[in-house]
Structure 1
Amino acid sequence: MRIGVLIAGLTAEKLTPEWGQYDRFFATLLERSGEPFSVRGWRVVEGEFPEGPEAADGWIISGSKHGVYEDHAFIPPLKAFIRDAAAARAPMIGVCFGHQIMAEALGGRAVKSDKGWGLGLHEYESLARPGWMAETPERLSLPAVHQDQVVELPPGATRLATSPFCENAMLAYGDPERPWAISIQPHPEFTAPFARELIALRRGDAFPEDVADRALAGLDAPGPAHDGAWAARWFRDFLFMHKK
């Protein structure tokens, strides 16, 4: 199955040699699902777009340092692509910025939250567990790196997971048992070692020192394991639901 990754933000240059860009992150995550996927990235943040939704069998929209409400040249065509993919019912997965811009493009709203940065491992409560999320634990722990949040759901979207910090942490579009798109605010594709390097690199710059220090301590503290493996299975089962 051909998966296209719309790369809306680039990994910091210092981290790229070891970790690569978002297409590598998502290829690695999908490998954990045990099924073969062919993954290709398009750097939409640099103006590189696929010809249309038919260029892949499914789409993942990545995170970004940018806000969906900011004035960047790539944002209007990315929203247009999302609307075209929605009209074609091409399966889509949005992650972090991808979660936010999908909501914006499809009639919801995302803003810079007055709650500040969500950083490090955050715990989320599953509100609904449709068949493609079967056996998912009631509580999940995933890396978060965001200060923007979806505050208004688009028409036809259902909240699947929440937390005290982030109310709309995961959404399904359409019938939750067979959604045509899903999106999630945290980063299941980030490993704890990558999250640690990213937070340490941007500590005192993008991230306030006290917030970064708490996040770094939380990555090493005993508690719920990082549940990226669950997300790999969600993504697999969601995408294979639409396999032609």
Structure 2
Amino acid sequence: MKIGILQTGHAPDELRPTIGDINNLFERLLNGQGFTFETFAVVDGDFPEGPDVCDGWLITGSKHGAYEDLPWIAPLETLIRDIYSTARPLVGICFGHQIIAQALGGKVEKYDGGWAVGRQTYDWQGDQVYLNAWHQDQVVQRPADSTPIASNAFCENAALVYGDRIFTVQAHPEFDATFIDGLISARAGTVPPALIETAKNNLTKDVDNAQLATKIGAFFKGAKP
């Protein structure tokens, strides 16, 4: 099964030589589940010819906001709607979670409650799930045909499903402690120091990346999240 990675951002320059770029994180996350990958750097204007190019699609995180006036945002929203109409499975992570909601009638904005940085706890259909996050923007109004399946006190719409077609997550199952530590060094300037300190203290605690990788892989193969 071929998964098209719609890359909407790049890893910090300081991290790429050792960790790779954003698309490489997802290739490693989903490794061993029988997928092949093709990356389209939509952030740089590289788009697929259409939704039929791949069997499933994944939209990555980004430092940009879904609401920004950037030349690639509107074409990406069109592609999202086209993928949805073909019923090919679509996964969105962080920015991907947000841009999919926006493209399908939801609302994304810079959350006035501040930032979520590092290890977070989510109520996932009655279970506690721990994932790394790095965001201030949120889906504050979800599309009518979406259903929330995870939340916490900070982020009401932490994971959404759209029937059996779309599965999106606000957190970053592709981010491990090494990557979060790198982000703290490279992009912590606008984050309150207390949140950064808490994120540093949580670097050694376990997260459920493998569990989410299994959920994403199963979704691509036809299972509901």
Short-chain TM bin: over 0.9
Deviations 1:143-164 (A, max 9, x none): 0000000011112100000011
What are the ranges of 5 or more consecutive residues in structure 2 without an aligned counterpart?
Answer: none
The one-letter code of the counterpart of 1:231 is L
Residue 168 of structure 2 corresponds to 183
Kindly state the Cα deviation for residue 201 of structure 1 after the two structures are TM-superposed: 2.2
Give the TM-score normalised by the residue count of structure 2. 0.96
Rounded Cα–Cα distance in structure 2 between residues aligned with 1:85 and 1:210: 41
Runs of 4+ more than 4 Å apart: none
The one-letter code of the counterpart of 1:169 is A
Give yes or no for contact 1:23–1:39 (8 Å, CA) kept in 2: no
Give yes or no for contact 1:30–1:232 (8 Å, CA) kept in 2: yes
Rounded Cα–Cα distance in structure 2 between residues aligned with 1:218 and 1:115: 21
Counterpart check, 1:116 vs 2:114: yes
Rounded Cα–Cα distance in structure 2 between residues aligned with 1:206 and 1:35: 37
Rounded Cα–Cα distance in structure 2 between residues aligned with 1:72 and 1:39: 26
Give the TM-score normalised by the residue count of structure 1. 0.88
Please report the RMSD computed on the Cα atoms of aligned residues, expressed in angstroms.
Answer: 1.3
Give yes or no for contact 1:4–1:41 (8 Å, CA) kept in 2: yes
- The percent of aligned pairs where both chains have the same amino acid is 42
Alignment of 1:26-175 (within 5 A): 26-31=26-31, 34-127=32-125, 138-174=127-163
Could you say what secondary structure the match of 2:24 adopts?
Answer: helix
Residue 228 of structure 1 corresponds to 209
Deviations 1:212-235 (A, max 9, x none): 122111223x5xx20001011101
What are the ranges of 5 or more consecutive residues in structure 1 without an aligned counterpart?
Answer: 129-137
Rounded Cα–Cα distance in structure 2 between residues aligned with 1:17 and 1:191: 16
Deviations 1:106-153 (A, max 9, x none): 01111100111100000000127xxxxxxxxx0000000000000111
Could you say what secondary structure the match of 2:202 adopts?
Answer: helix
Residue 135 of structure 1 corresponds to none
How many residue pairs get aligned? The number is 223
Give yes or no for contact 1:173–1:182 (8 Å, CA) kept in 2: yes
